[in-house]
Amino acid sequence: MIKTVEPALRLKGTITPPADKSIAQRAALFAMLCDRTSQITNYPVAEDPRTALACIRQLGAKVADDGVTVTITGTGRDNMAVPTGPVDCGNSGTVMRLLAGILAGAGIPATLIGDASLSRRPMKRIIDPLARMGAEIVSAEGGLPPLEIRHGNPLQPVRFRLPVASAQLKSCVLLAGLFGEDATQVVEPVSTRNHTETMLGLPVVREDGANVISSSRRQVIPAQNLQIPGDFSAAAFWLVAGSIIPDSEIVMPSTGVNPTRTASMHILRRMGADIVDEAKDRTGNEPAAHLRVRSAPLKPTRIRPEEIPNAIDELPVLCVAMAFADGVSRITGAEELRFKESDRLEAIQQVLEAAGVRVEGHRDGLTIYGEPGRKVRAARHDSRHDHRIAMAAAILSLMGDAPSQIDNAEAASVSYPEFWAHLDTLAHR
Ligand code: S3P
Atom of ligand 1 nearest to the CA of 168: 14
Q: Exposure pattern of 355-384 as b/e (b: 16+ CB <10 Å)?
A: bbbebeeeeebbbbbbeeeeebebbebbbb
Q: Find out whether the beta carbon of 196 lies less than 6 Å from any atom of ligand 1.
A: no
Identical fold, 3-19+229-424 and 21-214 = yes
Whether 382 is catalytic is no
Round to whole Å and give the CA distance between 285 and 23: 11
**Cβ-Cβ contacts under 8 Å for 78 (sequence gap 6 or more):** 106
Q: What element of type H or E holds 144?
A: strand 144-149
State if residue 384 touches ligand 1 by the CB under 6 angstroms criterion.
no
pLDDT in tens, 122-178: 999 999 999 999 999 999 999 999 999 997 788 999 999 999 999 999 999 999 999
- What is the whole-number distance in angstroms between the Cα of residue 428 and the centre of ligand 1? 34
Taking only the tens place, the pLDDT of each residue in 348-382 is 999 999 999 999 999 999 999 999 999 999 999 99
- Give burial (CB, 10 Å; 0-12/13-18/19+) of 141: exposed
Instruction: Give the helix/strand (H/E) hosting 280.
Output: strand 274-283
Give the whole-angstrom CA distance, residue 320 versus residue 349: 10
Does ligand 1 come within 6 angstroms of the Cβ of 193? yes
CA–centroid distance, residue 378 to ligand 1 (Å): 32
22 lines ligand 1 (CB under 6 A): yes
pLDDT recorded at residue 151: 78
Q: Domain coordinates of the chain in residue numbers?
A: 3-19+229-424, 21-214
CB 166 near ligand 1, within 6 Å: yes
Q: Which residues of the chain have pLDDT under 70?
A: 283-284
For residues 268 and 277, the answer to whether their CB atoms sit within 8 Å is no
User: Which ligand 1 atom minimizes the distance to the CA of 193?
Assistant: 12
Q: Name which CATH class applies to 3-19+229-424.
A: alpha beta
Consecutive H or E run containing 170 = helix 167-177
Per CATH, domain 21-214 is 3.65.10.10: yes
SS3 56: helix
Task: Give the pLDDT confidence score for residue 356 in this predicted structure.
Answer: 98
Q: Which of 313, 343, 401, 424 is the catalytic position?
A: 313
Nearest alpha carbon to residue 400 among 379, 382, 429: 379
Pick the residue whose CA is nearest to atom 10 on ligand 1.
313
**Exposed, middle or buried by CB within 10 Å (0-12, 13-18, 19+), for 206?**
exposed
Of 17, 11, 12, 7, which is closest to residue 261 (Cα–Cα)?
Answer: 17
Q: Taking the model in full, what pTM does it have?
A: 0.97
In the reported structure, the alpha carbon of residue 234 is separated from the centroid of ligand 1 by a whole-number distance in angstroms of: 14
Strand order in the sheet with 274-283: 274-283, 286-294, 249-256, 10-14, 427-428
Q: Give, using CA atoms, the residue closest to atom 16 of ligand 1.
A: 166
Closest CA to ligand 1's atom 15:
166
Indicate whether residue 188 lines ligand 1 (CB < 6 A): no
Cα 344 to averaged position of ligand 1 atoms, centre (Å)? 14
Angle at 365 between CA 361 and CA 367, to 5 degrees: 60
What's residue 154's pLDDT? Answer: 87
Answer whether 94 contacts ligand 1 (Cβ < 6 A).
yes
